[in-house]
Amino acid sequence: MAMTMFVFLGSLLLAMALGVPIAHSLIMSGIALLLHLDMFDTQILAQTLLDGADNYPLMAIAFFILAGELMNAGGVSKRIIDFSIAVIGHVKGGLGYVAILATLLFSGLTGSAIADVAALGSILIPVMEEAGYKRSHSAALIASAGIIPPLTPPSVPMIIFGVTGNVSITRLFMSGIIPAVLLCLCLAATWAWIARKEKFKVQPKQPFRVVLRTSRDAVWAFILPVIIIVGLRFGICTPTESAAVAVFYALFVGLFIYRELKFSNITRVLVASAKTTSVVMFLAAAAMISSWLIAVANIPAHLADTLAPVMDNKILLMFAINLLVLLVGTAMDSTPTILILTPVLMPIVLKAGIDPIYFGFMFVFNNMIGLLTPPVGTVLNVAAGVGKVSLDEIIKRVLPYMWIEIVLLLLLTLFPQLVLVPIQWFMPN
C-alpha cells in the first residue's frame, strides 16, 4: 500500500511541481499507477476517461455555469448590489455588510466562488475605495465572503462531490443553506470588529421609495434561487433539470426584463461558459482514472486500517479528515481535491457511520476555505487581481476571516446537528 501511495502521490506532485496542468497531472499519475500495478492498457485509459465525462448529473454544471454567465451579463449583479446598498449601505462600515449580503444573494446565481468574487469585486471595490475603504480590506472581505455561494444551491463543488461520491445532490444542496447564513453572520461580526476603528465615509440613508425601487428591480434575481430550491424540494425537477430551467429563466430576464443582455452578446457568453465547463469536465474525466485505480488498489481499506484508532469516534475522525483536507487545500484547488480524495475518504466515512450528506457538506466547506489559503488560494488570487492589490497584502487582511471560518468548521464538527437538522426541515423523509 505504501509503495502504491508513493507512486500515485509522487507522480502527481512531481508533475504539478513541473508546472503540468492539474488534469494532465492526474492522467500522468494514473498512467504511473497502471504501470506500477502491471495493468497498463491504452484502451482502459481511454474508456475510463470517457466514463469520467459521460455522466448525466455533470450536465448540471454546464447549465448552472451558463445561467450564471447570462445573469451577470444581463445586469443582475448590479441590481443586487444596488438593493444591498439601499438597505444597509448607510450604517458605519455599511459597504462591508453590503459585500456580505450581496454575496449571499449571489449564491443562487452561479454556485462558483471564483465567478462571484470576480463579478462582485469588479463592481463593489471601486465604490468602497471611493468611500474611504482600503482596497486590501475590501478585496479580503469579498474573497472571504466569496466562499459562501458554493455552500448553497446551485453549488458546482457539491455537484462534483455528489457525482463522485454517489450521494444525493439535492440533499447536498439543502445541507448548506443554514450553515451559509451562519457563515454570513460570522463574517459580519468579524467585519464589525475590524471596522470599529476605521473612518469610512457613510453612505446617505436612502428614502423608502429608493429601497422599494431597488428591491423591485432585484426581485427577478431573487426568484431564481427560489425556483431552484422549490423545484428540488418538492421533486418537481432533478438538479440537472433545474439547471436547464435556470438557463431559460436567466435568458428571459436578461433579454426581456432588464434588457441588458443583447442577442449579439449571447455568443460571447456561450463561449465563456463553454471554456469554464470544459475545464471542469476534463478534470472530472482525468480524475476518474485515479478514482478507479484507487478502488482497484484497495487504498481506502488500507487507510481505514491506519485510522482504526479513531474510527469508533466520529468527531475525532472528522477532526483528522478536516486537518488532512485543510493541509491539501493549501497546495491544491478545490475541484481536483474533491475528485481525488472523495473516492479515498467516502468508504472510510461510511464504515464509521458518518452521514454522507453531512460529510459532503463539511468536505466542500473545508475545500472552500482552501481557496483562501496560500500559495494556491484561487479565490485569493482572483480577489487580489480584481482589487489590484498585492498577494502579500491581501493575505494579511484575510487572516481574521479565515480563522473565523475555521472556527465555524470546528463548531460544525463538534455539533453535526447544525447541518443535519436543517436537512430534515428542507427534505423530510
Domain count, the chain: 2
In a domain, 125, yes or no: yes
Largest Cα span, the chain: 73
CB 236 within 8 A of CB 247: no
Measured distance CA(357)–CA(167) in Å, rounded? 7
User: Is residue 207 packed enough to be buried (19+ CB in 10 Å), middle (13-18) or exposed (0-12)?
Assistant: exposed
CA-nearest of 69, 119, 63 to 281 is: 63
CB 280 within 8 A of CB 335: yes
| AA identity, residue 270 | L
Measured distance CA(378)–CA(125) in Å, rounded? 18
In a domain, 198, yes or no: yes
Domain identity same for 220 and 114: yes
Measured distance CA(401)–CA(143) in Å, rounded? 9
Residue 10, domain extent? 1-40
In a domain, 155, yes or no: yes
Domain identity same for 106 and 17: no
Query: 143-174: string of b/e by CB count within 10 Å (b at 16+)?
Result: bbbbbbbbbbbbbbbbbbbbbbbebbbbbbbb
Domain identity same for 13 and 61: no
pLDDT at 267: 92
What are the grid coordinates assigned to 400, written together? 481574521
In a domain, 154, yes or no: yes
In a domain, 211, yes or no: yes
Read off the pLDDT of each residue in 91-119 and give the average, rounded to a whole number.
79
What are the grid coordinates assigned to 234, written together? 418538492
Query: Does residue 190 have a pLDDT over 90?
Result: yes
Domain identity same for 144 and 180: yes
Per-residue pLDDT of 38-86, as tens digits, reads 888 888 788 888 887 777 777 888 888 888 788 878 887 788 888 888 8
Domain identity same for 123 and 162: yes
In a domain, 51, yes or no: no
Domain identity same for 71 and 165: yes
Domain identity same for 27 and 154: no
How many contiguous H segments (helices) and E segments (strands) does the chain have?
21, 0
Domain identity same for 10 and 91: no
In a domain, 140, yes or no: yes
Question: Residue ranges of the alpha helices (H) in 235-333?
Answer: 239-252, 263-296, 299-306, 314-329
Domain identity same for 36 and 61: no
**Cell 500559495 sits on residue:** 375
CB 91 within 8 A of CB 193: no
Domain identity same for 196 and 112: yes
107: three-class secondary structure by DSSP: coil
Domain identity same for 247 and 131: yes
In a domain, 50, yes or no: no
Domain identity same for 255 and 143: yes
Per-residue pLDDT of 108-163, as tens digits, reads 666 667 777 877 888 788 888 887 888 888 999 999 998 998 898 888 899 999 98
